[in-house]
Amino acid sequence: MARHNIFGHIGEQVARDFLITRGLIVREQNWKLNHLEIDIVAEEPEKSLLHIVEVKTRSNVGPYDPLKAIDAKKQRNLINAANGYIKHYKLNMGVQFDVMIITGNVDDLKIEYIPRAFYPRLRTYR
């Protein structure tokens, strides 16, 4: 496994642990539907709320903003994957799209959690 993939895997584990400490139940990690993937699917049972969490892990932020990687196309893919997940498991709950940015090095990681990072666009019909 390439070094950046190992670091990304570590970031996802840190994100998973972070969510668990906040009382969420992690249902899935790296859930795939065709070419779509959700990094973490977590549940907040007392609110009947599903968290779709995109994790971005970077060794340093530098001039690059990890949030820029979550552009309109990425958001559309996450929304489509979430719809597929909900249909697959026949769930009836709200959905929230969160982003976690993990930066630093293995010995000193910084976690930035952005709940409700974006909302699905409404489709209007005429």
Q: What is the pLDDT of residues 46-62, one digit of tens each?
A: 999 999 999 998 877 56
In a domain, 64, yes or no: yes
In a domain, 71, yes or no: yes
For the chain, how many structural domains are there in total? Answer: 1
Mean per-residue pLDDT over the chain, rounded: 89
Confidence of residue 74 (pLDDT cuts 50, 70, 90): very high
In a domain, 86, yes or no: yes
In a domain, 126, yes or no: no
Q: Give the pLDDT score at 6.
A: 75
**Domain span including residue 49:** 3-118
In a domain, 17, yes or no: yes
Biggest alpha carbon–alpha carbon distance for the chain: 54
Q: Determine if the pTM surpasses 0.75.
A: yes
Confidence of residue 8 (pLDDT cuts 50, 70, 90): confident
* Range scoring the smallest mean pLDDT among 22-36, 37-51, 80-94, 110-124: 110-124
pLDDT at 93 over 90: yes
In a domain, 95, yes or no: yes
Residue 35 Cα distances to 7, 38, 75, 78, 81, angstroms: 22, 10, 14, 11, 9
In a domain, 123, yes or no: no
In a domain, 124, yes or no: no
What's the CA gap between 111 and 38, in Å, rounded?
19
Q: Give the pLDDT score at 68.
A: 75
CATH number at residue 74: 3.40.1350.10
